[in-house]
């Protein structure tokens, strides 16, 4: 088939690579979000998908909005058979959905209908799911509600951050998306409607959602830290300034100290929760680089009974 691939961030690049390597389909163009300011200088930078497409010599389309008439006209000229999508980052209007003969097929990083929305992997980790996966489905105007072509499953490991898990899903999902294109092309795959039961939603994680409540059980603290790593980053307050929590470890045999209270050992820093302690392993003070929690504690000279949190 002739394909137009839509995607923007680094997590979409493995799927684009899989389609380019398949040898069965032609990737005629990519659609990606416009260049965005990045870094201290805030200079405009192309998306990872745009950079990969440029390396491969593929036409790059960067509409401000997918309903822009110039973009729609060019898409009609290319006349793709299908448009595979991975984390494009903009809602597609009906007029765009109708252009390819086989529509737009999205690779979504959950086992639909679970975790429809912008942050499925983060919510899976924060909710303590033991198994998640990726799904390919036909895009409709509803939010991630279209019929499903195929799925691949992935175990959630006890120490997985959302970044760890998303990296594995990006590569597993890339193979699934390529196989889905093959199945659509030869007619062996038919999309199946999603069940009405088991629908959950995964809205974008806001900064306030990443604020760690040490009155919660240790398991919840651990899940929030892992689910919000690397973005937006779990955090608490220490001496009135934000302290980013990069990695913690459960310490179930240590009932003390009280929620939010810090206890510093020779090479360890513990903080109490609503159940048992967690050990702070890596933190990032405001305006500084990530560091081992023990090094941070030595530098700030934590007083007995001092706390993190509100």
Give 69's pLDDT tier (boundaries 50, 70, 90).
very high
Q: Are 139 and 91 in contact (CB under 8 A)?
A: no
Residue range 17-31: mean pLDDT, rounded: 96
Give 227's pLDDT tier (boundaries 50, 70, 90).
very high
For the entire predicted model, the pTM comes to: 0.94
Residue 39: the pLDDT is 78
Which residues belong to the annotated binding site for (6S)-5,6,7,8-tetrahydrofolate? Answer: 110-113
Q: Is 92 exposed, middle or buried (0-12, 13-18, 19+ CB in 10 A)?
A: buried
The number of helices, as runs of H, and strands, as runs of E, in the chain is 8, 15
- Model confidence at 310: pLDDT above 90: no
Q: Are 206 and 232 in contact (CB under 8 A)?
A: yes
Instruction: Give the Cβ contact number of residue 33 at 10 Å.
Output: 20
Q: Is 175 exposed, middle or buried (0-12, 13-18, 19+ CB in 10 A)?
A: middle
Residue 159: the pLDDT is 96
CA angle (160, 153, 281) in 5-degree steps: 0
Average pLDDT, the chain: 96
- Within 8 A by CB and 6+ apart from 275, the residues are 217, 218, 219
pLDDT digits (tens, 9 = 90+) for 236-279: 999 999 999 999 999 988 888 999 999 998 899 999 999 999 99
Query: Going from the N-terminus, what domains does the chain have, and what CATH number goes with each?
Result: 2-186 (3.40.50.170), 207-307 (3.10.25.10)
Structure tokens at 44: 């405009």
Cα separation, 255 vs 277, whole angstroms: 6
Cα separation, 20 vs 53, whole angstroms: 10
Residue 266: the pLDDT is 86
Which residues belong to the annotated binding site? Answer: 110-113
Residue 10: the pLDDT is 97
Residue range 189-205: mean pLDDT, rounded: 96
pLDDT digits (tens, 9 = 90+) for 279-307: 999 999 999 999 999 999 999 999 999 99
**What is the percentage of the chain residues whose pLDDT exceeds 90?**
94
Which parts of the chain fold into alpha helices (H)? 13-22, 48-56, 69-78, 94-97, 120-126, 162-186, 218-227, 293-300
Residue range 33-44: mean pLDDT, rounded: 87
Q: Are 113 and 195 in contact (CB under 8 A)?
A: yes
Q: Where are the beta strands (DSSP E) in 24-157?
A: 26-31, 36-38, 43-45, 59-61, 83-86, 104-108, 131-138, 148-155
Structure tokens at 33: 């979000």
pLDDT digits (tens, 9 = 90+) for 157-189: 999 999 999 999 999 999 999 999 999 999 999
């Amino acid at each position: 088939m002739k394909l137009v691939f839509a995607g923007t961030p680094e997590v979409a690049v493995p799927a684009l690579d899989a389609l380019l390597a398949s040898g069965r389909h032609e990737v005629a163009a990519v659609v990606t979000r416009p260049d965005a300011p990045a870094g201290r200088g805030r200079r405009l930078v192309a998306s990872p998908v745009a950079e990969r497409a440029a390396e491969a010599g593929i036409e790059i389309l960067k509409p401000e909005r997918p309903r822009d008439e110039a973009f729609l006209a060019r898409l009609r000229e290319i006349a793709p058979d299908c448009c595979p999508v991975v984390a494009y980052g903009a809602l597609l209007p009906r007029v765009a959905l109708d252009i390819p003969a086989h529509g737009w097929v999205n690779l979504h990083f959950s086992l639909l209908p679970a975790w429809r929305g912008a942050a499925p992997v983060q919510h899976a980790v924060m909710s303590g799911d033991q198994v998640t996966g990726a799904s390919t489905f036909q895009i409709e105007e509803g939010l991630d509600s279209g019929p499903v072509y195929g799925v691949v499953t992935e175990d959630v490991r006890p120490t997985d951050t959302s970044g760890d898990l998303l990296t594995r899903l990006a590569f597993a999902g890339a193979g699934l998306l390529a196989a889905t294109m093959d199945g659509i092309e030869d007619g062996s795959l038919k999309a199946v409607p999603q069940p009405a039961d088991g629908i959950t939603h995964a809205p974008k994680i806001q900064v306030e959602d990443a604020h760690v409540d040490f009155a919660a059980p240790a398991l919840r603290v651990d899940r929030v830290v892992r689910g919000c790593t690397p973005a937006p980053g779990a955090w608490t307050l220490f001496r009135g300034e934000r302290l980013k929590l990069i990695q913690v470890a459960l310490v179930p045999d240590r009932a003390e100290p009280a929620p939010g209270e810090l206890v510093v050992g020779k090479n360890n820093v513990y903080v109490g929760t609503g159940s048992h302690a967690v050990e702070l392993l890596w933190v990032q003070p405001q305006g500084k680089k990530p560091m081992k929690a023990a090094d941070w504690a030595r530098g700030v000279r934590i007083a007995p009974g001092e706390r993190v949190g509100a």
